[in-house]
Structure 1
Amino acid sequence: MTPAELSLTVLHAVRRAVGDGALRVDVPSRATIERARPGGAGEYASNIALALARPAGRSALDVAGILEERLRGVPGLRAVEITGPGFLNFTLRGDADADLVREVLAAGTSYGHGAALAGTTVRLAGGDGPRAVLVVGT
């Protein structure tokens, strides 16, 4: 799961919460996903619950709990944790990177083409240190 896909997944959880009446807010056009801070939980984090708390008339922790319930069991996510005042922290499944590679290979040269993320910067980051060393002979 890429950060862009995670953002769409979080927005889908917000839409579901609004649709079933758990939240009364306008669904934002995007959810910011960032690398989790060093020493923090998970690999990625979002402040969406903090952003929606005031418009929803609820605490950020309440909003985070509502979203966390709707994110449990999502394919590609191993864990969703609520930290601090209402941040959502995400741990991806161990094979999430492999899923992305399979998707890229299946799409071939058409992978990544489209206007859905026009003007958006997406940065992919691996784990700590190299996972493999590639030696190319000439």
Structure 2
Amino acid sequence: MPLLDPEDSRLAVENGAAGIIVSNHGARQLDYVPATISALEEVVQAARGQIPVFLDGGVRRGTDVFKTLALGAAGVFIGRPVVFSLSAAGEAGVSNVLKMLRDEFELTMALSGCSSLADITRNHVVTADEKLGVMPSRL
């Protein structure tokens, strides 16, 4: 079930959803929706660990995967980099982009002192709002 709002996350859990995908549908339909990474943490908290939460949208680098996991996602969906690499170089392009993402992710883990996925925690990221001392806003 794709969503952005924490209340929708609570409803998804209550109504038996198997998982949640935090998605703004590429922000193609509504140009004012928040970035998926901005909504992720509140949606994860609202799910209370009862179902997995995934992120779809905006993942372009291995550091994006790391940040997403640190904010509580169970995993990510990678669309545009795969589609673009497929159109540019076919199967080899997809293999290359996935290898690049994995290599960047593993380097980010190493530089952050994480030897396993379990080592990645919220303490590894600072949001833009936290840097500015701004309280997060709701949708």
Q: Same-fold call, TM > 0.5?
A: no
Larger Rg belongs to: 1
TM-score when normalising by structure 2: 0.30
